[in-house]
């Protein structure tokens, strides 16, 4: 994704609008990087909601560590 792409402004506008709607701060102007960060944030959010509602533990130590670090970042 570059500024000489004909859809660059459209993508940038869409990403900005989605970030405001979902209250996500991506910290980048590159639409591709921003979309990846949006998807990751939504995956973390869904995982957090699922774990809170079902009280399960994650069997993968790596994913469990990433999830715990995410929760610590949220100050829970």
pLDDT tens for 9-53 read 777 888 888 888 888 888 877 788 888 888 888 888 887 777 666
Structure confidence at residue 76 (pLDDT): 44
Q: Please check whether residue 2 lies inside any domain of the structure.
A: no
Q: Count the domains in the chain.
A: 1
Mean pLDDT throughout 48-71? 69
Helix or strand run (H / E) with residue 63: helix 61-73
Mean pLDDT throughout 63-76? 70
**Residues spanned by the domain of 20:** 8-73
Structure confidence at residue 56 (pLDDT): 55
What token pair was written down for 76? 């829970």
- Cβ-count burial of 66 within 10 angstroms (0-12 exposed, 13-18 middle, 19+ buried)? middle
Q: Please check whether residue 1 lies inside any domain of the structure.
A: no
Q: Please check whether residue 24 lies inside any domain of the structure.
A: yes
Q: Please check whether residue 47 lies inside any domain of the structure.
A: yes
Between 3 and 72, the more confident residue is 72
């Amino acid at each position: 994704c570059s500024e000489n792409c004909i859809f660059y402004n459209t993508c940038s506008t869409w990403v900005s609008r989605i970030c405001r709607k979902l209250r996500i701060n991506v910290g980048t102007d590159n639409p591709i990087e921003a979309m990846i960060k949006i998807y990751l944030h939504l995956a973390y959010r869904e995982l957090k909601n699922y774990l809170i509602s079902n009280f399960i533990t994650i069997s993968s130590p790596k994913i469990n560590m990433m999830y715990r670090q995410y929760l610590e970042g949220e100050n829970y």
